[in-house]
Copies of this chain bind each other. A is one copy, B any other.
Amino acid sequence: MTVTEPHRARGSRISPARPTMDDVAAVAGVSRGTVSRFLNGGHNVSRSAREAVERAIRKTGYVVNQHARSLVTQRAGSVAFILSEPQDRLFEDPNFNNLLRGCTQVLADHDITLLLTVAATDADRVRIGRWVTAGHVDGALLISNHLGSPLLGDLKERGLPVVVCGRPLGHERDVSYAAADDRDGARQMVEYLRSRGHRRIGIVTGPLDTSGGVDRLDGYRDVLGAADPALVVSGDYTQASGEAATAKLLDQAPDLDAIFVCSDLMAAGAVAALHRAGRRVPQDVAVGGFDDSKVATTTTPSLTTIRQPWMRLSAEMVRLLLARVDGEDPAAVLLPTELVVRDSA
């Protein structure tokens, strides 16, 4: 039961030769196959062998070499969470936090690690595309896909399982996605605003190269028809853009009595702009948000908004991704949204 320890120059002087499965097998007095079977579920391993292996692992401090394992299983055991946005957005927008938390949690249940990558620049996107397709991950969760961004096409072309958060404009048929029912959520909000007696209802949309942007605008139009163009302004989901868009709206349509702002963060900016213009919320102008994120409760007044089911969205995204990894065809999941009434409308 001698453990041979040949001197292996490992490219690093600092760590002593890392124990391999052969070392464990030698210490345990069994074959490498038995150690491997123990590690992979313990089927077909006798009680005595199991105990010997357990002891040997403890003694040697063995940790599996994931590269060797992945080389044969063709599985990495991790997936990428790709945020294709300027890095600041990650930190400013609480929605990403919600999604990240949900996905991490659901993946952990499958013992899969989530790797967060921020693709802020085009150079990033290239490097990440290469990295992701080099086998490092089994698939990718693509957050915040913009029409015309080449990343999705790249990943798809290279055969990497992908699921997009939100409807992937132009790829609805061949890419899996999970989305909240943005259009219906928008309808609910606008109908609610009308039911409260508002008649001049403006909208601050999201970016119109994303499904959240176009679908919520469509929902608004479902209720109000092709409204006065002066009532429609676009933002980019940041608080600053909500503030600027609202100022513009007040300028174009000073008589408006309500605004549907397509994200809570932008709605916080809208409230600030209204205050600055001397309009009371909700007495002079009612404000409806979208997301039901943390900022909806910290804003004064608290925001009436549309709840997105973040946890379910996360769970569905993960489920769809793992299905793709297992070879299933793409699928889409649409989740209902819900009106949450607070103080702003």
A residues engaging B (CB < 8 A)?
10-16, 18, 61, 63-68, 70-71, 73-76, 78, 87-88, 90-91, 94, 96-97, 100-101, 104, 108, 111, 113, 115-118, 123-124, 127-128, 130-131, 133-136, 158-161, 324-327
Report the Cα distance A151→B63, complex, angstroms.
16
**Shortest beta-carbon distance from A152 to chain B in Å:** 16
Q: Are B87 and A91 in contact (CB under 8 A)?
A: no
Residue of B nearest to A129 (CB): B63
- The residues of B that contact A71 with a CB separation of less than 8 Å are 65, 67-68, 71
Find A117's partner among B75, B90, B94, B116 (CB 8 Å cutoff). Answer: B116
List, sorted by A's number, 8 A–B pairs whose CB atoms are closer than 8 Å: A11-B73, A12-B161, A14-B324, A66-B131, A67-B135, A68-B71, A91-B97, A113-B127
Copies of this protein in the complex: 2
Q: What residues of chain B lie closer than 8 Å to A101, measured between beta carbons?
A: 87
- From A113, which residue of chain B is reached at the shortest CB distance? B131
Residues of B within 8 A of A96 (CB): 91
Is B159 a contact partner of A63 (Cβ separation < 8 A)? no
Which of A18, A116, A325 has most B Cβ within 10 Å?
A116
Who on chain B is nearest to A8 by CB? Answer: B74
A87 to B90, CA, bound (A): 12
Within the complex, which residue of B15, B113, B159 is in contact with A159, where a contact is CB–CB below 8 Å? B15
Contacts of A117 in B (CB 8 A): 113, 115-116
CB–CB B134/A66 < 8 A? yes
Q: How far is the CB of A222 from chain B (nearest CB, A)?
A: 34
Assuming the A-B contacts A97-B91, A108-B127, are A66 and B135 also in contact, with contact meaning beta carbons closer than 8 angstroms in the complex? yes
Contacting pair B12 A326 (CB below 8 A): yes
Bound Cα distance A11, B73 (Å): 8
A61-B158, A100-B87, A327-B14 are contacts. A115–B118 as well, Cβ < 8 Å? no
Question: Smallest CB-CB separation from A324: which chain B residue?
Answer: B14
- Tell me the smallest distance from the CB of A147 to a CB of chain B, in Å: 24
Q: How far is the CB of A134 from chain B (nearest CB, A)?
A: 4
A73 CB contacts on chain B under 8 angstroms = 11
Contacts of A324 on B, CB cut-off 8 Å? Answer: 14
The chain B residue sitting closest to A94, CB to CB, is B91
